[in-house]
Structure 1
Amino acid sequence: MDDSPPIVKFVSQKISKIRWKPNQNQYSHETDVFATGNWDDEAGKVCLWKLPSMEQEVMDMEAGGYDPAVREPNLLCEVPHTGDVTDLEFISADHVVSSSSTGTVTLYRHHTNSQTLGASMSWEGIHKDPGDKGCPCTCLTTQGEDMVVSAGEDGRINVLNVAYRKPVRVIDKANSCTINGITFLKQLEVISVDSSGQLKVFDLRQASGDPVRTFALSGEQTPLQCVARHPTQYHIVATGAYDGVLSVWDLRQEKFPVTPLEAHSAAIWEVKFHPNNPDHLFTCSEDGSVWHWNASSVASLVTGTGAGSGGGSLFSQNTPTGGAGNMSITSPWLVLDSGRQKLDVKSKLSLTLPLNTIDIVSQILLCGSDEEAIYAMDIPGIR
């Protein structure tokens, strides 16, 4: 099952972002609808797709009429989008928000009865260069069903509320270079990564707009391209760098907060913890690959529940021994400096052109690429 080929849907557009739609039932993580955005095309668009259920596949097989094409995602609806889609997030089960290379952020509503997408709010040109011309909004993050935070090439951070047509807060000089990724740490705290290799934490309640904490990779200023927060331990974040290095950060530490792991041969565009099983992490890269990082064997060593042999490749960090200090270790991602710890790392997909985006819910991993295709694959044993 683990080696079963992915479902492939050729869509005649380069996929820049892909995101699972949350289930309206808060007690279930299962979903079969996802959104995509494209880039480098004459016509930008945001699309919604539906992945046929496994139950339907079983019924088709039992009826003797199984066709592999039946498992391909079906297009539900699409809506024009001005510029490239640079980021995409669901703010609720029926609302998805996108950021654009034109500097605009748009909120779309999915009308389920008519199966249409329509723009319900747009914040135009909220990212600008010194000449007051629009510049790309590079990333966004959401909190609850009403708050959106965007960041861009202008180093600006905008706090948006879906009830207001103008930003409710603007941090003009949040950064002197491009902000490449941003995510919420807590309800009113965000963390950003930038082209100088820094992580900056902003408390949106503070009037000054200055970061409350700043972390940096040592040595050369390698751009950080993406950031993901651990779903249950908010002091742990993972970042992907332009040189292909995956790093895990412990934000409780000041001196040695980072564990760098040699990873891809080119830029990491997205990193994702599994939302319900964060011992598993996924990365995608400019080199055309998707990797599955499994820290379960390390977790067994931390908890003392198994031998932890893992059978995977050995990765050790470059930070000084003892960087974890005397803090209690509660996550396998924080003990990777020990030579005994092994990560099981598998390549899930390998293409010729860049893999730009990934998302995972339950045991289905979605991928989008410059090969103008969507990929869906089962990751057994994770839910």
Structure 2
Amino acid sequence: AYSVDWSQTRGEQLVVSGSWDQTAKLWDPAVGKSLCTFKGHEGVIYSTIWSPHIPGCFASASGDQTLRVWDVKAPGVKLVIPAHQAEILSCDWCKYDENLLVTGAVDCSLKGWDLRNIRQPVFILLGHTYAIRRVKFSPFHATLLASCSYDFTVRFWDFSRPNPLLETVEHHTEFTCGLDLSLHNRGQV
């Protein structure tokens, strides 16, 4: 598995994983078995994320350049978004808007997607010079997010501003592959 994420639904002890075998799997860690396999991607699944709003709903981002939305209660994919013209390495769900997801890709761009209208992104953020490895929405602000990249940087953005790049942090001397934002302490990465 390349990606794993715990369900955020209270009382639901489920994990979703994404793999090099182009499938996402639903797991019950209590029994250690896969409950269901989701097929449809035509490339490695680099990122899986549960919706913080809709129980049983998750998104996956893939090397096939698509962002897909799934419902564990219904077979097949709910939504396919041709989000980039390069491999998508990360996705995250906005904590404040059930219809907003962000993707980060090898094309060095971050794109915001409104699930009600997928014809074009609601925002595109540019600034990284190499592939974006991880993107996370802020748990405290609806329009803030962070990204990290193979360009050794972590960047902070506010997509509601005319100049969305807030800060570039250059403390790494190698690829920056992961980041997360604290749920308990504002501003802690």
- Fold shared per TM-score above 0.5: yes
Residue aligning to 2:138: 274
Equivalent residue of 2:116, what SS? coil
Does structure 2 conserve the Cα–Cα contact (< 8 Å) formed by 1:246 and 1:263?
Answer: no
Q: Choose from 172, 178, 184 the match for 1:357.
A: 178
Q: Choose from 40, 50, 56 the match for 1:188.
A: 56
Q: How far 1:344 sits from its partner (Å)?
A: 4.2
Q: How far 1:280 sits from its partner (Å)?
A: 1.7
Q: How far 1:162 sits from its partner (Å)?
A: 2.4
Using a 3 Å threshold, how does the CA distance of structure 1 residues 184 and 350 change in structure 2: closer, same or farther?
same
How far apart, in 2, do the equivalents of 1:359 and 1:257 lie? Answer: 23
Q: How far 1:352 sits from its partner (Å)?
A: 2.8
Q: How far 1:246 sits from its partner (Å)?
A: 1.0
Residue aligning to 1:345: 166
Using a 3 Å threshold, how does the CA distance of structure 1 residues 217 and 295 change in structure 2: closer, same or farther?
closer
Does structure 2 conserve the Cα–Cα contact (< 8 Å) formed by 1:286 and 1:353?
Answer: yes
Does structure 1 conserve the Cα–Cα contact (< 8 Å) formed by 2:125 and 2:159?
Answer: no
Residue aligning to 1:199: 67
Residue aligning to 2:123: 259
Question: After superposition, what is the alpha-carbon deviation per residue over 1:215-269, rounded to whole angstroms, capped at 9, x for unaligned?
Answer: 1136xx3000000110020111111101211111111103224532222000111
Equivalent residue of 1:360, what SS? coil
Residue aligning to 1:131: none
Q: Identity over aligned residues, as a percent?
A: 23
1:26-175 superposed matches below 5 A: 137-143=1-7, 144=9, 146-171=13-38, 173-175=39-41
- Give the residue type in structure 2 aligned to 1:205: K
Q: How far 1:350 sits from its partner (Å)?
A: 4.1
- Give the residue type in structure 2 aligned to 1:274: S
Question: After superposition, what is the alpha-carbon deviation per residue over 1:103-144, rounded to whole angstroms, capped at 9, x for unaligned?
Answer: xxxxxxxxxxxxxxxxxxxxxxxxxxxxxxxxxx11012114
- Give the residue type in structure 1 aligned to 2:67: L
How far apart, in 1, do the equivalents of 2:29 and 2:173 lie? Answer: 40
Does structure 2 conserve the Cα–Cα contact (< 8 Å) formed by 1:142 and 1:149?
Answer: yes
Q: How far 1:295 sits from its partner (Å)?
A: 4.4
Which TM-score applies when normalising by structure 1?
Answer: 0.45
Larger Rg: 1
- Give the residue type in structure 2 aligned to 1:252: R
Which TM-score applies when normalising by structure 2?
Answer: 0.87
Question: After superposition, what is the alpha-carbon deviation per residue over 1:309-329, rounded to whole angstroms, capped at 9, x for unaligned?
Answer: xxxxxxxxxxxxxxxxxxxxx
How far apart, in 2, do the equivalents of 1:222 and 1:295 lie? Answer: 22
Using a 3 Å threshold, how does the CA distance of structure 1 residues 165 and 295 change in structure 2: closer, same or farther?
closer
Using a 3 Å threshold, how does the CA distance of structure 1 residues 282 and 146 change in structure 2: closer, same or farther?
same
Does structure 2 conserve the Cα–Cα contact (< 8 Å) formed by 1:157 and 1:174?
Answer: no
Structure 2 stretches lacking a partner, 5+ long: none
- If asked which structure has higher relative contact order (CA below 8 Å, sep 6+), I would say 1
Question: After superposition, what is the alpha-carbon deviation per residue over 1:288-318, rounded to whole angstroms, capped at 9, x for unaligned?
Answer: 001111346x3xxxxxxxxxxxxxxxxxxxx
Does structure 1 conserve the Cα–Cα contact (< 8 Å) formed by 2:41 and 2:64?
Answer: no
How far apart, in 2, do the equivalents of 1:196 and 1:174 lie? Answer: 10
Equivalent residue of 2:97, what SS? coil
How far apart, in 2, do the equivalents of 1:147 and 1:237 lie? Answer: 21
Residue aligning to 2:81: 215
Residue aligning to 2:89: 225
How far apart, in 2, do the equivalents of 1:227 and 1:346 lie? Answer: 20
Equivalent residue of 1:239, what SS? strand
Q: Choose from 226, 237, 252 the match for 2:101.
A: 237
Task: Compare the two structures and name the one with the higher helix fraction.
Answer: 1
How far apart, in 2, do the equivalents of 1:253 and 1:217 lie? Answer: 12
Does structure 2 conserve the Cα–Cα contact (< 8 Å) formed by 1:287 and 1:352?
Answer: no
Does structure 2 conserve the Cα–Cα contact (< 8 Å) formed by 1:251 and 1:257?
Answer: no
Residue aligning to 1:11: none
